[in-house]
Amino acid sequence: MAPAESPSLVQLRSAGVSLVVDITGPRLPRLLHWGSDLGPLCPDGLAALAAHGAFPASPGDPDDPRRPGNWNIPPAVGLLAEHGAGWQGFPGLLGHRPGGADWSPLLAVETVAVTAPAGDVDAVGLAPRPGAARAIRVQAADPVAALALTVELELTDAGLLRTRATVRNDHPELPYTLDGLGLTLPVPTQADELFDLTGRWTRERSPQRQPFHQGTWTRETRRGRPGHDAPLLLAAGTAGFGFRHGEIWALHLAWSGNHRLWAERLPTGQAVLGAGELPMPGEISLAPGAHYTAPWLYAGHSDAGLDGLTARFHDQLRARPHHPRKPRPVVLNTWEAVYFDHDLDRLRRLADLGAEIGVERYVLDDGWFRGRRDDSAGLGDWYVDETVWPDGLHPLVDHVRGLGLEFGLWVEPEMVNPDSDLARAHPEWIMATGGRLPGELRGQQVLDLTHPGAYAHVRERLDALLSEYPIDYLKWDHNRELADAGHQPGGEAAVHGQTLAVYRLMDQLRADHPGLEIESCSGGGARVDLGILEHADRIWGSDCNDALERQSINRWTMALVPPELVGSHVGAARSHTTGRTHDLAFRAGTALFGHLGIEWDLTRASAAERRELARWIAHHKRLRGLLHGGRVVRVDHPDPALWMHGVVAPDRAEAVFALVAVGTSATWPHGRVRLPGLDPAAGYRLAVLPPGPETPGLGRGRPAWCVEEGVTGLRGSVLERAGLQLPTLHPEQLVLLHLTKE
Q: What is the CA radius of gyration of the chain?
A: 27
What does the pLDDT average to over 436-458? 95
Fill in the DSSP letter of residue 129.
P
CA distances (Å), origin 476, targets 409, 527, 536: 9, 11, 9
Fill in the DSSP letter of residue 522.
B
Calculate what percentage of the chain has a pLDDT beyond 70.
92
pLDDT tens-place string over residues 343-392? 999 999 999 999 999 999 999 999 999 999 999 999 999 999 999 999 99
Q: SS3 for 571?
A: strand
- Asked if the peptide bond before residue 105 counts as cis, ω within 30 degrees of 0, the response is no
Beta-carbon count within 10 A of 38 CB: 17
478 is in an annotated binding site: yes
pLDDT band, residue 690 (cuts 50/70/90): confident
Identify whether the C-beta of residue 30 lies closer than 8 Å to the C-beta of residue 69.
Answer: yes
| Dihedral angle computed from the Cα positions of residues 532, 535, 539 and 543, in that order, rounded to the nearest 10 degrees | -70
Q: Of the residues 385, 529, 537, 543, which is catalytic?
A: 543
Q: SS3 for 554?
A: helix
Identify whether the C-beta of residue 644 lies closer than 8 Å to the C-beta of residue 657.
Answer: yes
196 is in an annotated binding site: no
Arithmetic mean of pLDDT over the chain? 92
Of the candidate ranges 53-62, 73-82, 183-192, 631-640, the one whose mean pLDDT is the lowest: 53-62
Q: How many CA atoms, within 13 angstroms, populate the side-chain half-sphere of residue 415?
A: 27
Q: Give the domains, in start order, of the chain with CATH numbers.
A: 2-318 (2.70.98.60), 331-629 (3.20.20.70), 635-741 (2.60.40.1180)
Q: Is the pLDDT of residue 122 over 80?
A: no
pLDDT for the residue 409:
98
Q: Which residues contact 5 (CB under 8 A, 6 or more apart)?
A: 114, 125, 126, 127
pLDDT for the residue 64:
55
365 is in an annotated binding site: yes
Of the candidates 188, 183, 185, 184, which has an alpha carbon nearest to the alpha carbon of residue 55?
Answer: 188
pLDDT band, residue 554 (cuts 50/70/90): very high
pLDDT for the residue 601:
97
pLDDT tens-place string over residues 137-149? 999 999 999 999 9
What is the DSSP secondary-structure string of 42-97? -HHHHHHHHHHT--PPPTTS-S-TTTTT-TTSS----SS--GGGT--S--SEEEE-
Q: How many CA atoms, within 13 angstroms, populate the side-chain half-sphere of residue 411?
A: 24
Of the candidate ranges 127-131, 301-305, 656-660, the one whose mean pLDDT is the lowest: 127-131
Calculate what percentage of the chain has a pLDDT beyond 90.
84
pLDDT band, residue 699 (cuts 50/70/90): low
- How far apart are alpha carbons 317 and 223 in whole angstroms? 26
Specify the pTM.
Answer: 0.95
pLDDT for the residue 152:
97
pLDDT tens-place string over residues 35-51? 999 999 998 999 898 88
pLDDT for the residue 123:
40
CA distances (Å), origin 473, targets 199, 286, 639, 687: 28, 38, 41, 36
Q: Of the residues 102, 472, 477, 546, which is catalytic?
A: 477
Backbone angles phi, psi at 453, to 5 degrees: -70, -40
Q: Is the pLDDT of residue 701 over 70?
A: no
pLDDT for the residue 88:
87
Q: Is the pLDDT of residue 335 over 60?
A: yes
Q: Is the pLDDT of residue 1 over 60?
A: no
pLDDT tens-place string over residues 588-637? 999 999 999 999 999 999 999 999 999 999 999 999 999 999 999 999 99
Amino acid at 67: R
**E strand residue ranges, 486-584:** 486-487, 492-493, 517-520, 538-540, 566-571
pLDDT for the residue 505:
98
479 is in an annotated binding site: yes
pLDDT band, residue 76 (cuts 50/70/90): low
Amino acid at 357: I
372 is in an annotated binding site: no
pLDDT for the residue 68:
38
* Residue 34 region by backbone torsions, left for phi larger than 0, else alpha for psi between -120 and 50, else beta: beta
Fill in the DSSP letter of residue 98.
G
Q: Is the pLDDT of residue 524 over 90?
A: yes
72 is in an annotated binding site: no
pLDDT tens-place string over residues 489-514? 999 999 999 999 999 999 999 999 99
477 is in an annotated binding site: yes
543 is in an annotated binding site: yes
Q: Is the pLDDT of residue 299 over 80?
A: yes
| 477 part of the active site | yes
Beta pairing partners, 702:
none
Q: Is the pLDDT of residue 169 over 80?
A: yes
- How far apart are alpha carbons 257 and 223 in whole angstroms? 8
pLDDT band, residue 692 (cuts 50/70/90): low
pLDDT band, residue 70 (cuts 50/70/90): very low
pLDDT band, residue 125 (cuts 50/70/90): very low
Of the candidate ranges 437-446, 462-471, 701-710, the one whose mean pLDDT is the lowest: 701-710
Q: Is the pLDDT of residue 263 over 60?
A: yes
What is the DSSP secondary-structure string of 421-489? HHHHH-GGGB--BTTBPPPPBTTBEEB-TTSHHHHHHHHHHHHHHHHHS---EEEE---S--TT-EETT
| 543 part of the active site | yes
258 is in an annotated binding site: no
Amino acid at 450: T
